[in-house]
Amino acid sequence: MKVYTRTGDDGTTGLLYGGRVGKDEVGPEAYGAVDEAVSALGLARAEIDPDSEFHEMLVQLQRELFVVGAELATAPENRGKLQPEVSLVTADMVTRLEPIIDDVAGRFEPPREFVLPGQNSVAAALDFARTVIRRAERVTVAATRVGWLGAESQVVPYLNRLADLVYTLSRWQEGDFRPSRKR
């Protein structure tokens, strides 16, 4: 199988379960941003011990983003073909993130002012991933507004919670850093 198909040369892209839409339509914009988020989390993962629990957590989050992308890459008329936690985001996927956020948040003192990303490479990569996830969330809100996703979709809540988790992970990775006093 060749990497190139030439079918997208006309500015369209194929969807999961069939159909083609413009590459600049809201669905492809949303799943494209999710794809970027997967890669951004990979930047952080590349900097940490591959045998660590943290590494496994990031792998799991990347895999869950594939589920998000699959749902977003499916035309509304094919939503019935989606499988929970394989190609359809579930409420359980959203709620499973919350105790992780709580656990990680308990490992450090929260910042009391705006955070300047870049304390270290892992935290900076996570902050970058968070901003990409927030963009994916905004585009997905727009996709929902125009009917690409139904109101019952859990994609927006998942992305919202994931951004909170990635923010928390970044602060945790900064260690005991305290900002210097203003001069």
Partners of residue 88 on adjacent β-strands: 84
Q: Which domain holds residue 48?
A: 23-173
Q: Domain total for the chain? A: 1
Q: Which two tokens stand for residue 82?
A: 């989606």
- pLDDT (0 to 100) of residue 177: 42
Would you state the pLDDT for residue 29? 97
Residue 179, domain member (yes or no): no
pLDDT of residue 69: 98
Q: For residue 4, is it within any domain?
A: no
Q: Does residue 9 belong to any structural domain of this protein?
A: no
pTM over 0.85: yes
Query: Which residues are CB-contacts of 20 (< 8 A; sequence separation ≥ 6)?
Result: 7, 12, 13, 14
Tell whether 111 is covered by a domain: yes
Examine residue 63 and state whether it is found in any structural domain, yes or no: yes
The two counts, helices (H) then strands (E), for the chain are 5, 2
Per the domain annotation, does 180 fall within a domain? no
Average confidence (pLDDT) per 10 residues, the chain, 183 residues: 89 94 96 98 96 96 98 96 98 98 91 86 97 98 96 97 97 67 43
Query: For position 179, what pLDDT does the model report?
Result: 43
Residue 181 has, within 13 A of its CA and on its CB side, a CA count of 1
| Residue 71 domain-assigned (yes or no) | yes
Among 175, 75, 68, 177, which residue's Cα sits nearest to residue 132? Answer: 68
Tell me whether residue 85 is in a domain.
yes
* Amino acid 118: pLDDT: 86
Write the CATH number for 106.
1.20.1200.10
